[in-house]
Amino acid sequence: MARIGFLRRTTGEQDLSKGTLPAHVAIIMDGNGRWAETHHQPREEGHRAGVGSVRSVVNYLAKHGISYVTLFAFSTENWSRPDWEVYTLLELLTEAVRDETSALHENNVKILHLGRLDRLSSVLQNEIGRAIEITKHNTGLTLSIAFDYGGRNEIVNAVRRVVASGASPSEIDEGFFAQYLQTTDIPDPDLIIRTGGESRISNFLLWQSAYSEFYTTQVHWPDFDEKEVERALEAFQVRKRRYGSLDSSH
Amino acid sequence: MARLNKIEAHLCHRVFSASIALPILFLFILLGPPWLTVLVLVITVLAAFEYYRLFRGTLVRKSLVPGLILAVAFIVNSYFISVGLLDEKSLLILATVGLSVAFIIFCLFNRTFPFSTGALFSIAGPSYLGFAMAHIVLLRRLDDGTQWLALTFLIVFGTDTAAFLGGRKFGKYRIAPRISPNKTWEGAIAGLFGGVLVAIITNFFIGLPISILQIFLLGVGASLLAQGGDLAESAMKRYVGVKDTGELIPGHGGILDRLDSVLPVLILVYYALHLVVM
Across the interface, whether the CB atoms of A85 and B241 are under 8 A apart is answered: yes
Among the partner-chain residues B61, B238, B239, the one whose CB lies closest to the CB of A42 is: B61
Residues of chain A in contact with residue B115, where contact means CB-CB under 8 angstroms, are 91
Is A63 among the domain residues?
A: yes
Q: Is residue A6 part of a domain?
A: no
Question: In the prediction, which pLDDT does A6 show?
Answer: 43
Residue A14 lies in a domain: no
Q: Is position A223 within any domain?
A: yes
Model confidence at B14, in pLDDT bands (50, 70, 90)? low
If you average pLDDT over each of A151-160, B46-55, B61-70, B161-170, which comes out highest?
A151-160
pLDDT band at residue B106 under the 50/70/90 scheme:
confident
- Summarised one tens digit per residue, pLDDT across range B110-137 is 776 778 888 889 889 999 999 999 999 9
On average, the pLDDT of chain B sits at 87
Yes or no, beta carbons of B114 and A43 under 8 Å apart: no
Range of the domain at A124: 20-152+189-236
| Cβ pair B113:A45 closer than 8 A | no
pLDDT at A44: 87
Per domain, the residue ranges of chain B are 1-31+143-278, 32-141
Q: What is the pLDDT along chain A (250 residues), one digit of tens a residue?
A: 344 444 444 444 446 776 789 999 999 999 999 999 999 988 889 999 999 999 999 999 999 999 999 999 999 999 999 888 898 899 899 999 999 999 999 999 999 999 999 999 999 999 999 999 999 999 999 999 999 999 999 999 999 999 999 999 999 999 999 999 999 999 999 999 999 999 999 999 999 999 999 999 999 999 999 999 999 999 999 887 777 777 655 4
pLDDT tens digits along B237-247 = 888 887 655 55
Its ipTM equals: 0.71
Is B16 touching A (CB cutoff 8 A)?
no
Asked if the structure places residue A109 within a domain, the reply is yes
Characterise A149 by phi-psi region: left (phi > 0), alpha (psi -120 to 50), beta (else). beta
A78 annotated active-site = yes
Whether B277 shows a pLDDT value over 70: the answer reads no
- Indicate the number of domains in chain A: 1
Domain of A65, CATH number, reads 3.40.1180.10
Of A171, A183, A94, the C-alpha closest to A146 is: A183
pLDDT of residue B33: 85
Q: Which of A82, A91, A92 sits opposite B240 (nearest CB)?
A: A82
Among residues A59, A78, A138, A157, which one is catalytic? A78
